[in-house]
Amino acid sequence: MRVISIDREKCTGCGICQVACSLTKTGAVQPSLGRIKVISDKRSRLQMVSVCQHCAEPACQTACLMEGISKDLASGQIIRDLEMCFGCGACQVACPISAPILDVDQGVIVTCDLCDGNPVCVKVCPHGAIAYGELTEAITNRRIRQGARFFGVRQEGVE
């Protein structure tokens, strides 16, 4: 399974990935429609980026009223059937990192689709903080640590 991973030691929260993502998906610079986004850490007030983690057990999938979200078992990618989405926002509420965003132009909820395996955010990141590659144990551990620190997400059995 290939995933996007963010090294928060390198990330400055500059937001270039968000701009490039919106440019790719909408043809305009519109950060509010970027599927990777800059968020603020409430405690330190510092900024960093957050993006769909294509979770092993996706809360968004469980929450979707229309059963329009599935997980591709081969690639591990979350697949959204936008024909079924009516923008209710249940997946946004369920997601522990609030990754889904409302595409106001289409009236549907969208998330990172990994740009068909060639994510633009990885290409533009000036700090080399965003990588796309196989999910390793090290990346998994980092996700758990960062999930706990920045989003208060706890995994059972992990402090």
Residues that bind other proteins (CB under 8 A): 9-12, 14-16, 19-20, 22-24, 26-33, 40, 44-46, 104, 120, 123-128
- Our CA angle for 79, 28, 93, nearest 5°, is 40
Contacts of 145 (CB under 8 A, 6+ apart): none
Q: Is 102 helix (H, G, I), strand (E, B) or coil?
A: strand
Those residues with Cβ within 8 angstroms of residue 136's Cβ, 6 or more apart along the chain or in another chain: none
The least distance separating other proteins from the CB of residue 149, rounded to whole angstroms, comes to 12
Q: Is 2 or 8 the residue whose CB approaches other proteins more closely?
A: 8
Which CB atom, from 8 or from 71, has the smaller least distance to other proteins? Answer: 8
Shortest distance, position 4 Cβ to other proteins, whole Å: 16
CB of residue 119 to other proteins, shortest distance in Å: 12
**In the complex, minimum distance from the CB of residue 115 to other proteins, in angstroms, rounded to a whole number:** 12
Closer Cβ to other proteins, 15 or 96, answer by number: 15
b/e sequence 126-150, b meaning 16+ C-beta within 10 Å: eeebbebeebeeebeebbeebbeeb
Find out whether 14 and 123 touch, Cβ atoms under 8 Å. Answer: no
Which lies closer to other proteins via its Cβ, residue 49 or residue 78?
Answer: 49
